Amino acid sequence: MEFPVAHWPNTSSNSIIRELISIADDEAKEEIEQLIQGETITKPINEDIVYADITKNMDNLWNFLYFTGYLKKVSKEQIGVQNYFELTIPNNEILYIYERHIREWFDEQIREVDMTNLYTAVLSQDIATFEDEIIHLLGESISYLDSHENFYHGFLTGVLRGIKGYQAISNRESGSGRVVISF
């Protein structure tokens, strides 16, 4: 039995979307995550945006995503002369693009983060620098909803696996107990 395959992702290049997402600010990235989770966002929509204006501000990102079918209108409110649309991801095919491609692009940006200070701090047992670097990484990447110990365990295991010449090992037994993360 063959399962249906998303057709939309293969109909055109998503390079423009990728470029727009790469310049998105932190607020826009958070709103994209909200959309992926099935929530809606409300944004000003202007019908007179031209292609050359797309990268001038973040509101133009939402205009572009709406007018190209990557977002759909749930409701509309007019305040003065400005139209505000409540927007959502239109269907599972587009959700697939967001989940696969956009998260992949975000992951590429995360991989580009220089972790030299963090890794040096681990290897030299510089606890103060390690703490500062971890606080910075967590501040840029997680939500207050990520509160379970196993989340932080996985986060640290993933971060530490990038230290060259070492292998981060998770939850191994040692003596009469276990080591949470070891090298």
Predicted confidence pLDDT, tens digits, the chain (183 residues): 665 555 444 445 566 666 666 677 778 878 888 888 899 999 999 887 777 777 777 788 888 889 888 899 999 999 999 999 999 999 998 888 877 776 676 666 666 678 889 899 989 999 999 999 988 887 776 665 666 676 777 778 778 878 888 877 777 766 676 666 766
Cα 11 to Cα 8, 47, 91, 93: the distances in Å are: 5, 24, 16, 12
Predicted local distance difference test score (pLDDT) of residue 179? 62
Residues 93-105: b if buried by 16+ CB within 10 A, e if exposed: bbbebbeeebeeb
Helices (H), 68-126: 92-97, 103-111, 116-124
Q: How far apart are CA 21 and CA 15, in angstroms?
A: 10
15-62 tens-digit pLDDT: 666 666 667 777 887 888 888 889 999 999 988 777 777 777 778 888
Classify residue 43 as exposed, middle or buried by CB count within 10 Å of its CB (0-12, 13-18, 19+): buried
Domain ranges of the chain: 8-109, 114-182
- Report the half-sphere exposure of 30 (CA within 13 A, side-chain side): 9
Q: What is this structure's pTM?
A: 0.55
Q: Is the dihedral of CA 56, 61, 64, 66 positive or negative?
A: negative
